[in-house]
Structure formats: structure tokens, C-alpha cells
Amino acid sequence: MFGKLTINAIPWDQPIPLIAGAVVGLTLLAVFIWVVIKGHLPYLWREWITSVDHKRIGVMYVLLGLVMLLRGFIDAVMMRSQQALAYRAPGYLPPHHYDQIFSAHGTIMIFFAAMPIMIGLMNFAVPLQLGVRDVAFPTLNSTSFWLTATGALLVNISLVVGEFAQTGWLPYPPLSELPYSPGVGVDYYLWALLISGAGTLMTGINFVTTILKMRAPGMRYMRMSMFCWTALASNLLIVAAFPILTATLIMLVLDRYLGFHFFGNEGGGNMALFINLIWAWGHPEVYILVLPAFGIFSEVISTFSGKPLFGYRSMVIATLGICLISFIVWLHHFFTMGAGSDVNAVFGIATSVIGLVTGVKIFNWLFTMYGGRIRFKTPMLWSLGFLVTFVIGGMTGMLLAVPPADFELHNSLFLVAHFHNVIISGVVFAGFAGVVYWFPKAFGFRLHEGWGKAVFWCTLVGFYVTFFPLYVAGLLGMTRRLQHYDVAEWRPWVLAAAVGVVISGVGMLCQIVQLVVSIRDRVALRDETGDPWDGRSLEWATASPPPAFNFAFLPDVKGEEPYWAMKQRAIETQHLAAAGEYQAITMPKNSATGFMTAFFATVTGFGLTWHIWWMVGAGLVLAYAGFVWFAWRDEDEYAIPASEVQRIDGERRRAREEWLARNANVSEAA
Amino acid sequence: MIQPQFLAVAPLTAKAKTSLFALDPALGVLDPQGPVAAGNSQILLNALAIMLMIVVPTLLAPLAFAWWFRASNKRAIYRPEWAYSGRLELIVWGIPLLVILFLSGVTWIGSHDLDPARPLAEEAKPVEIQVVSLDWKWLFIYPDEGVASVNEIALPTDRPAHFSLTSATVMNMFFVPQLGSMIATMNGMATQLNLKADRPGNYLGQSSQFSGAGFSDMHFVLRALAPDSFTQWTAEARKSRLALDESEYLALARARATSPTLFYGSIDRALFERIAARRLTSEAGPISAPARTIE
């Protein structure tokens, strides 16, 4: 009846996951009960869960990402404290548990923290910057989000029902094959990633279509903001790379479920095939994450320097260059697997070419600041922290790209320090910068500056104190994923890293305080005009938060930085451009398709993990029925009447006129 | 089963059993003890030096620019429209290009000079060592000397060593940080590695590829010995009454746990080829409780 699932699947003998699971479960239950009692459920259902508005979906993606970031961070705290305690001692986490933690940490951080934050920010900002009303396929967008949430849910269910993979975040066979991983851990991993991977692929298709086909009138390619360019490149990479991941994982599924021999030790299986395939996806994945991050920094540095981005064309070329080259460097993840010297050298050199184009970007950001009037708001601090920190991470990456150097640093803590260096300074800093930057656009009030700066300094210092000692430990030969160790020379560095985690933890707390304080002080922090940072791209042209239709009139784009040009014209002439005649706007209707499909996908994934075949069948049929039902719907759009559009846009115009008048007084006084 | 016979072997020294505490300071790649490690480290430092020339100014520039062009600095020029300069673009592309040209040269030459499979430029005939990674221990076979050992390996300091490596189970990586280059061990394949130790010493060896529950215990001692001591080491090993034949190997492979140091006085010379060709396979048994190597 329940396949492999029995009551013993719950780890009764392990207090840590049990208590953690209970706390999370009770918190969720409490939140749910509070929502029901307060009568917020219909609002949540109507405005968020079934919403197909790209802005709402973007916010939900970022929220999911931040919650999972917290979960991944707790894993990190456990790993670092285990290693701090486990010098010639067993520590407090046995291998069975410790191995799950580092596997879950990597999986969650990449797939369910970094990806949702980046995709969420793209969802929120790209249609606004393109000057359009939504993405190409709004319901598909909602489905993408909920399928990602399914993956996150499955990984977190594994905390209390069964176990998670004990293979590392990429389940290298033969370790991940049945003989060596007979439990359900790898199965949780596979189905979580296959389901959320389908969602990510749909996001890629959606955004490539949106950017290629749905720009505002006059928004030519070479007038798009840098963030739109990097979003395009990133989504092209998703479309090209995610099918490789799906195919690779399906081959592992076939090995585990149906006795195939793609990667195992029997029947001519070859693990090197898996390792090549997974990195053929895995390396582009790095750029899927970091390209939108580069876009965010481009926006932030240009805005807070009060200047256009320097070398726009070079930046576009560099972005597309990274997009292409990222597909021909995968072998640098396994120089030590015994490929010949020609092969190693070619992939090493290809990798350094990525260093070239990234270097170009760094210099262009520098010259964007040159001759500017730089305001040190929180997003700009993150960007400066990024510029300094990322260069160091890039340099250690280039060291690892030299095969003979990699021969002694591969899989060491030096490698761990390197990729945390680039991912934290690149993706995480960008995520935080993007959240602070676009938060007022999404919610109508800014985040508290002082607490934002506290987050920045704690995170920055925490990063350096955690990972620079790990560089040293790696040079001393300490390999990654050790549950305990006996070497005295490594110990001081491991202890130092544990101190760093504490500092980062304070940063995490400040993050929560920042959110609470900002919500409390939201009236004082209100963004009246919709342009809190003196922005340059189109998202600042509309109100904060933007109306469902984004723009009453699609902007007429006449050059780069269209909003900056509009604003300058308004300041010169002292009034806004005249509004045209308001017309009704049709917008896509809400749809429960995404939520229902994902719900049944969760049921299917759980059934597949535990071999509960009736559950698999029911889940698949109902998930399929969900979108057949969607395809047969009669009405898919609703109209916002012209009077309503006029009323909403009128408010925005009034706020802007007031701002113009205030601004004029200021300049006269000066 | 293994334990009593192990006790019959006279250990070389009291320290030799399994304890890692007798190791020389494990200073990893900062303390090269052989030509390969020295080569690796040299390339690391060369590449670092090349990059630091550009990285140091690039690190300082954002701080300097941000400080000077702060909004409150009235002495800094403000060029709100300035977004292109052909000459700067040339520098922007040119400088990183020069650096990576340099670096590519280092990469190409280094990859060929330090290819793990390439024999070292040494007069003396290499010691042949066959390595099999097991769950979670290392088996070292000396086909020419006719001995084998588990979790301890010895090299003479006057000869290079040539390793052929495979895995009986999952993937591992053979790595002695102070001697340089690591290499993967994989089931159904044999990889090649050439190393040499310049000075006598006891060095930490480990697996640098996660391989399951017992991974953290999967380390070994590499004893670099003066030529006389190496001969003595093989002679001592040959005294062991343990014989590494098929059944002994399968018993070793089936026990999924770490192992104390073992020596085999006689070996089946065809064993390694059969393991690497998957003609001698062992099923994965149950995981034994992870044993600690600490007394």
C-alpha cells in the first residue's frame, strides 16, 4: 500500500532533524491557522497563490529563495560547527547525518535559494524594464514557480520522512547508484530536481520569448537595459543547459529504478559519462546564476553613480561571450580524472577566456563610477563589496583553471573557498542588492538604510572570516566533506571559519530585523513618486507598487535609458508629457493551474520516491487533468475599464507633478 | 578474521600501526617534498604572480574611485554623460587579454610537463605500485617486490614511483599533498600517476573525492624511506603470513569499513588487472559502524 514507506522512515532516534522538523511544521501550522482565523485565506488565494502577475510571482520566488537561504545557512552552521568539534573526536553529527547536511546545503543553496532569488528578480524587473505588461506566458510562469516550490518542498520533507542524499550536491555515480545508496535519499534528490528543473526550463522559454518578442515600442535590442541583456543570456543558457540536466538525471533514474547500466559498475556502465554530462549542465548553471547578478550590479552602479553604464556595447558582447564560452569549459571540474594533457590544457585555456570577458565587465563598472556622483546607499555598498571580493574569487578560480595547480587543489577547501567566494560575492550580494533596490518598487516603501548597512557589513566581514581561513586549510591539503579529521595544522583555520559563520549569522539576524523595522516604519519610508533612487530604466517610470497593468500607456522608447530621458525632459519643461486618451486594458485572469499542477506533482514525486505506485498514477493523471482543464477554459482575460486606468495613472501623475514642483523650488533656492 | 593475522606481523616501529600522529607536519602544497609537488607549487605561484599584477590595482581601483567620486566631494569632476571612450575600451580588452595570453602559456606548458601519466625525468627505474581504493581503505600492491599493504605505502627516495590506480567500488582520489598531483581512482579503469619523494618522511595521504560514510577515515601514511630502509620495509612486509589472493581480496573488499595497516607477504600478481577490468568484482556489503582510527 505505501511502497517502501513505513513508520520507521521518520528518524525517531535522531533528535536534531526531528526537532527541526517539528519546529518548522508547527510554525507553518501556526501561520496557516493565523491566516485562516484572520480571514486572509481568500486574499492569499486570489492575490498571490493563483496570481499570474509577473510582479507577484517574482516576489514569491524571492521569498522562497530567502527562506531556503535561511535553511541552507542553518546547514552551513551545522557543518562548520561539526568540523570545529570533530578534531580527533567524532563531533555531534554522525556521517549518516553530516553527509546529508552537506548534500542538502549545496542542493538547496543552488537550486532553491540562488535560482529562485535570481529568477524572482528577473520576473519582477524584466517586464517593467522592457516596458510591457506581463511575460509572454503568464500562467506558465505561475506553474514554473509552483513547480520550483514542489522541489523545495520535497527536499525539506526528506528532513523528517526518510533521508536525503548522502552523495554531495551532484550525485556522482557509482556512489549514487543503488548498491551504494540503497535508501530514498538520492530518489528525493532526483525527483525534486526533475520536477523543479521542468519549472526552470519553462521559465527559460518564457523569458526568452518575452525578451525577444514583447518589448515596448521602440525598445530595440541595443536600447535594452543591461539587466534585460543578462536575463536574456541567462535564459538562453537555461533553455540550452537544463535539458542536459534532465536527461542525465533521468538516466540515473533508469539505473536506479529499472536496472539500466548507464553509470554503474556493472554491465559496462561508465561514471565518467555522468560526470561529463552533469558538468555540461553544471558549468552553464554557474553563469545562469551569475549573469543576472552582473545585470543587477550594472543597474545599481549606473544608478548610484548618476551616469549611464560605461561601454554598453562591450558589456553586451562580454555577456554573450560568457553565454557561449560557458559551454566549452565543463571539463575544468575534473582535470584530475586522467584526461590527457592536451585536453586539460585546452579546457584550462578556454576557462581563462571567461576570465577575459569577466575582466572587461569589471573594468566597465569601474569606469561607470569614474566621473560619477556616487551615493552610498545599501545596493551600492553591495556592489562595491562585490567588485573587490569577486576579483579575488575570480583570481583563485583562474588558479584552479591551470591544470597542474588544480592537481593539488582540486576538491580541497581551497576549491570550496573559491566557489563560495564567487557565488556569495556574485550571486548572494547581487540578490541582496537587487532586493534592496527593487523593494520600494514592489511594496511602495524603502527598506531601512541603517539596518541594511548592518546586514552588509556583517555579511561581508562574515564572508572573509569564514572563507579566507578555508583557502589556507585547502593549501595545507585539507580536503572537503570531512566529517572528522586528525591533522593539527588544519585546526586553527577550521576554528576561524566557525567564528566567521557566527558573524554571518548576525548578518542574517540583521536581515530579519531590517524587514521588521522597515514594515513598522513603512509610512516614513514610503516611496511617493515611484522613483526612489533617481533611476534610469523604465521600471521607475511607473508607480510603486506598480498597478497590475504596469503602464497605462506603453512607453515610447527613443534611446537608451528611456526613463532618464523622459525625466530630464520633464524637469526641463517643468511638466510631465501629456497623457493620451485612456483605454481599457485587458490582463490575464488568475489561474489555479500552476498551484494545482504543482500540488499533484508533489504527490507524484513523493510516490515515486517511496515506490507508492497508485499515488504516482493518481498524481500524474490529476496533474495532467489540471492543465487540460486550463486549456479548455473559455475566458482567459479580464478588462480593466478606462476610468479605472485613468484613476490609477492620475494618482501617479499627481505625485510626479508635486515632485517636479518641489524640485523646481529646490533648484531656485540653490 | 583479519585482526589476529595482522598482529603476527612485526610492525616496523610502534608508530607505524595506524596512527597518523607520527606524521610530519601536514603543510600540504606549501611544503613540497618531491619534484611533482615542487612543479605544481611553482606553477601555482607563477600564475598567482602574473595575476596579482593586474588584480592588486583592480582591487584598489573601486575603493579609490568610489571614495574620490563620492557625491559630497565637490573637487571631483562630474561627467554625467560620459559612457564611451575608444581608447579606454582598448585598455579594457587589452590588459585582460595580455594576462590570459601569459596564463595560457603557463597552462599549456604546465599541463604537458606535469601530466600525471608522464614518466618523470629520472635515471632510476621507477617503483611499480598498483593502487586499489576500497570502501574505505587503500590497497597498495608492489608487483615487482611481491608484497602488498593496506593503508601504508612506502617509496624509496632514490627512485621515482609509477602508480596504476583503480577502484573496487566508488570513485576516490589518491592524494599525498606534499608529493603533488592527485588522480582519480575509478571502477573499470586504470589511471596513471608518477611521483617522487626527495627526502625521507612520513606524509599524510588521503582520498580527496567523497566516497561515502567512511570517507573521513580513508587516509593512509606514505613513508618516504632511504633506499636501505625501503629494502628493509619490503623485507618486513614479506615476512607477513597473509597472502593477497582472490578470497583474501574479496574479504577485504566486502568489509565496508576502514582497516588497520596490513601487510601481505605474498601476492597474486594478476589481481590488479582483473580488478581494473571488472573481472573480479565484489558486491557492496552492509556498512560496518564507522571505526575510528584513534586509539
pLDDT in tens, A394-410: 999 999 999 999 999 99
CA dihedral over A610, A612, A615, A619, signed as positive or negative: positive
The helix/strand count (H/E) of chain A reads as 21, 2
Q: By percentage, how much of chain A surpasses pLDDT 70?
A: 99
Residue for cell digits 514557480?
Answer: A145
Residue A255 has pLDDT above 60, yes or no: yes
- Cell numbers for A629, please give them: 482543464
Which ranges in chain B are annotated with CATH 1.10.287? 35-113
A144 is known as an active-site residue: yes
- Cell numbers for A537, please give them: 530604466
Looking at beta carbons, which residues of chain A come within 8 Å of B98? none
Residues 262-321 of A with CB under 8 A from B: 265-266, 269-272, 305-312, 314
Strand order across the B137-142 sheet: B191-195, B161-167, B127-134, B137-142, B147-150, B262-264
Task: Tell me the C-alpha to C-alpha distance, in Å, between residue A599 and each of A9, A56, A203, A594, B89.
Answer: 22, 19, 18, 8, 52
Q: Which of the two residues, B19 and A330, has the higher pLDDT score?
A: A330
Pick the CATH number of B3-26+121-276 from 2.60.40.350, 2.60.40.420, 3.40.1260.10, 2.30.30.240: 2.60.40.420
Radius of gyration of chain A, Cα coordinates, nearest whole angstrom: 25
pLDDT in tens, A207-239: 999 999 999 999 999 999 999 999 999 999 999
Q: List Cβ neighbours of A115 (8 Å cut-off, separation of 6 or more).
A: A65, A148, A200, A288, A289
Nearest to A95 among B88, B111, B213 (CB): B213
Which ranges in chain B are annotated with CATH 2.60.40.420? 3-26+121-276
Beta-bridged to residue B206, according to DSSP, are: B175, B219
Question: Distance (Å, rounded) from C-alpha B194 to C-alpha B155?
Answer: 12
Closest CA to A228 of A557, A647, A582: A557
Radius of gyration of chain B, Cα coordinates, nearest whole angstrom: 25
Among A72-76, A576-580, B103-107, B180-184, where is mean pLDDT lowest?
A576-580
Strand order across the B172-176 sheet: B152-156, B219-225, B201-207, B172-176, B180-185
Residue ranges of alpha helices (H) inside A86-176 are 95-107, 115-130, 138-157
Task: Tell me the C-alpha to C-alpha distance, in Å, between residue B119 and each of A405, A408, A602.
Answer: 18, 18, 54
Residues 394-413 of A with CB under 8 A from B: 395, 398-399, 401-405, 407-412
Q: What is the mean pLDDT of residues A309-333?
A: 95
Task: Tell me the C-alpha to C-alpha distance, in Å, between residue A534 and each of A649, A659, A670, B68, B125.
Answer: 20, 12, 19, 21, 73
Question: Distance (Å, rounded) from C-alpha B222 to C-alpha B131?
Answer: 13
Q: Can you tell me whether residue A444 is helix, strand or coil?
A: coil
Among A9-13, A310-314, B46-50, B76-80, where is mean pLDDT lowest?
A9-13
Residue B136 has pLDDT above 80, yes or no: yes
Question: Distance (Å, rounded) from C-alpha B203 to C-alpha B33?
Answer: 9
Question: Distance (Å, rounded) from C-alpha A554 to C-alpha A556?
Answer: 6
pLDDT in tens, A294-313: 999 999 999 999 999 999 99
Contact B55 A395 (CB under 8 A): yes
pLDDT band at A578 (very low <50, low <70, confident <90, very high): confident
Question: Distance (Å, rounded) from C-alpha A71 to C-alpha A155?
Answer: 11
pLDDT band at B5 (very low <50, low <70, confident <90, very high): very low
Pick the CATH number of B35-113 from 2.30.29, 3.30.70, 1.10.287, 3.40.50: 1.10.287
Fill in the amino acid letter for B224.
Answer: A
pLDDT in tens, A112-159: 999 999 999 999 999 999 999 999 999 999 999 999 999 999 999 999
A203 is known as an active-site residue: yes
Question: Distance (Å, rounded) from C-alpha B225 to C-alpha B197?
Answer: 9
Q: What is the residue-averaged pLDDT of chain B?
A: 89
φ, ψ of residue A104 to 5 degrees: the values are -70, -35
pLDDT in tens, A638-647: 999 999 999 9
- Cell numbers for A168, please give them: 554531495
Question: Distance (Å, rounded) from C-alpha A208 to C-alpha A129?
Answer: 15
Task: Tell me the C-alpha to C-alpha distance, in Å, between residue A417 and each of A298, A393, A478.
Answer: 25, 8, 12
Indicate the DSSP class of residue A412: B
pLDDT band at A272 (very low <50, low <70, confident <90, very high): very high
Residue spans of the domains in chain A: they are 40-546, 561-591+634-670, 592-632
Closest CA to B149 of B288, B51, B289, B11: B11
| CA angle, residues A598, A166, A417, in degrees to nearest 5 | 100
Residue B19 has pLDDT above 70, yes or no: no
Task: Tell me the C-alpha to C-alpha distance, in Å, between residue A238 and each of A171, A275, A289, A432.
Answer: 20, 19, 10, 22
ipTM (interface predicted TM): 0.93
Nearest to B216 among A175, A371, A484 (CB): A484
Question: Nearest-CA distance from B35 to chain A in Å?
Answer: 13
Q: Exposed/middle/buried for A549, CB within 10 Å: 0-12, 13-18, 19+?
A: buried
Contact B99 A359 (CB under 8 A): yes
Indicate the DSSP class of residue A222: G
pLDDT at B283: 77
Contact B191 A484 (CB under 8 A): no
Q: Report the CATH number of the A40-546 domain.
A: 1.20.210.10
Q: What is the mean pLDDT of residues A31-44?
A: 94
Q: What is the residue-averaged pLDDT of chain A?
A: 95
Q: What is the mean pLDDT of residues A646-650?
A: 96
Residue A421 has pLDDT above 80, yes or no: yes
A529 is known as an active-site residue: no
Contact A483 B215 (CB under 8 A): yes
Fill in the amino acid letter for A318.
Answer: A
Fill in the amino acid letter for B185.
Answer: T
A361 is known as an active-site residue: yes
pLDDT band at A667 (very low <50, low <70, confident <90, very high): low
Question: Distance (Å, rounded) from C-alpha A229 to C-alpha A226?
Answer: 5
Q: Which of the two residues, A573 and B25, has the higher pLDDT score?
A: A573
Nearest to A272 among B83, B92, B186 (CB): B186
CA dihedral over A329, A332, A334, A340, signed as positive or negative: positive
Break chain B down into helix, strand, coil percent, rounded to 5: 35, 25, 40
Q: Exposed/middle/buried for A293, CB within 10 Å: 0-12, 13-18, 19+?
A: buried
